[in-house]
Amino acid sequence: MEQLFKNALNDSDPSTQAVLVSVFSADEEESDREASLAELERLLETAGGSVFAKMVQSREHPENATYLGQGKLEELSRLCSNGGISLVICDSELSPVQIRNMEKALGDDVTVIDRTMLILDIFAQHAVTADGKLQVELAQLKYTSPRLIGKGREMSRLGGGIGTRGPGESKLERDRRRIKEREHILEKRLAELEKNREMQRKQRRRSGIFRFAIAGYTNAGKSTLLNALTGAGVKEKDELFATLDPTTRKFELPSGREILLTDTVGFIRNLPHHLVKAFRSTLEEVVDCDAVLLVVDISDSEADAQLRVTTDLLNELGAKEKPTLYLLNKCDAAPSVVIPFMTGEARTSILQISAKTGEGLDRLVNRLEELASDGKQTVSLFLPSADLGVLSSLYASSQVKSVDYRDGGALVTAEVDAMTLGRVKKYIC
């Protein structure tokens, strides 16, 4: 099926240079602003571009019509034309009107995009599964298309995507209709895929195997950790959002107990709400688990802020009550640190590790063992023929290890939690 979008940077020269622009209000912390802009730079590099210049304006609010004030906009225009720059990226969410007016002021050769459009570009480059690709395309249609339409841009392959100029109004009307149709198709397909995914999740739940989700800020080392433990071969790379699609792998603990580990999409500050909504089914993988392994990159000076963002998002997704093990990763690259945000956490829930060198992974495995076996024990039961129905509820709530049918009933070995144990006590043999 034809894709309506291409990426702003994909098709361009790999050395595409851009001006990064940010409007800060006076009540924002200076360190937050700088970190956000530095992150925008990393996002641009990940997307295949580089920074020509950064421009910052401090004012009460961004200008409604043009984001920047008049004087700064003129300065930006001069900067772009002198440097031959054709891409401007703003570190906030821009309205379609702001983009249109900025482009009008900057001239025909300059494309203006915002942080979210840039993130979606990266997502589009990194999505692998059908599910991931559809979610990205739908989010681009919903977010990016209103920001392009009316700008005299082609929306389709016909024009080659974000950077193309051209069509008249009748073309735009056709594009609007095509976009709506495409959105409809994508939504239907996604709903079907979501059904499958939910079935898979149900099966995993029913298997009774303890499930850990590996969550954390983008680039924290989640995929490296999954690979170090399971040899999963997931892409690990020093770039943002290397992973978009979740990967689940079985891991056998030294006791022989099996657990499931799921590597998930990373979090980032200022993730707009509608993006969270668009990627909800991917993000839900993060919370559909029995416990969370929250990976923090302690070699990053922003570790504390990143942990804050991650925790807020996890809470928003409904993971507040999940047992959480904080993994202070990249300890090989950082001195032992105290993260202010974590001072309230129990020491037993914090471990220093290095997914790269393997340091601390043996302790991690021990903790996984303790968490996975919490309150559970393996029991042998004899279910008389008349009570064989109990077996299906055992499958639902416990890990059934073996069933041996014999005269008069079945001999069952299962790992049960305390509640199930209460229900099946009378069958213990």
Ligand X SMILES: Nc1nc2c(ncn2[C@@H]2O[C@H](COP(=O)(O)OP(=O)(O)OP(=O)(O)O)[C@@H](O)[C@H]2O)c(=O)[nH]1
CB of 44 or CB of 242, closer to Mg ion = 242
Cβ atoms of 327 and 296 within 8 Å: the answer is yes
* Window contacting ligand X (CB under 6 A); options: 20-28, 173-181, 239-247, 269-277: 239-247
Q: How far is the CB of 235 from Mg ion (least distance, A)?
A: 7
Task: Say whether residue 245 binds ligand X (CB under 6 A).
Answer: no
**Cα distances (Å, whole numbers) of residue 76 to 58, 296, 311:** 15, 37, 37
Query: Which of 5, 24, 123, 241 contacts ligand X by CB under 6 A?
Result: 241
Residue 51, burial from CB neighbour count under 10 angstroms (0-12, 13-18, 19+):
middle
Our finding on whether 127 is near ligand X (CB under 6 A) is no
CA 4 – CA 42 distance, rounded (Å): 26
- In this structure, are residues 418 and 375 in contact, taking their beta carbons and an 8 Å threshold? yes
User: Given the complex with Mg ion, which of 94 and 225 has the nearer CB atom?
Assistant: 225
Phi/psi for 250 (5° steps) reads -80, 145
Q: Which of residues 219-238 bind Mg ion (CB under 5 A)?
A: 222-223
Of 93-101, 200-208, 240-248, 388-396, the segment contacting ligand X by CB under 6 A is: 240-248
Is residue 244 close enough to count as binding Mg ion by CB under 5 A? Answer: no
Where b means 16+ CB within 10 Å and e means fewer, 322-339 reads bebbbbbbbbeebeeeeb
CB of 364 to ligand X, least distance (A): 12
Among Mg ion, ligand X, none, partner that 101 touches (CB below 5 to 8 angstroms by kind): none
Distance, in Å, from the CA atom of 232 to the CA atom of 250, rounded to the nearest integer, reads: 9
Pick the binder of Mg ion from 127, 240, 242, 259 (CB under 5 A): 242
Report the b/e string of 93-125 with b at 16+ CB within 10 A: bbeeebbbbbbebbeeebbbbbbbbbbbbbbbb
In angstroms, what is the minimal distance from the CB of 239 to ligand X?
A: 6
Q: How many CA atoms lie within 13 A of 397 on its CB side?
A: 16
Contact, 131 vs 189, CB < 8 A? no
What residues numbered 328-387 form the site for ligand X, per CB under 6 A?
329-330, 332-333, 354-356
**How many residues form the binding site for Mg ion (CB under 5 A)?**
4
Q: Scanning residues 262 to 281, which ones bind Mg ion (CB under 5 A)?
A: none
243 binds Mg ion (CB under 5 A): yes
Residues that bind ligand X (CB under 6 A): 216, 218-224, 236-238, 240-243, 266, 329-330, 332-333, 354-356
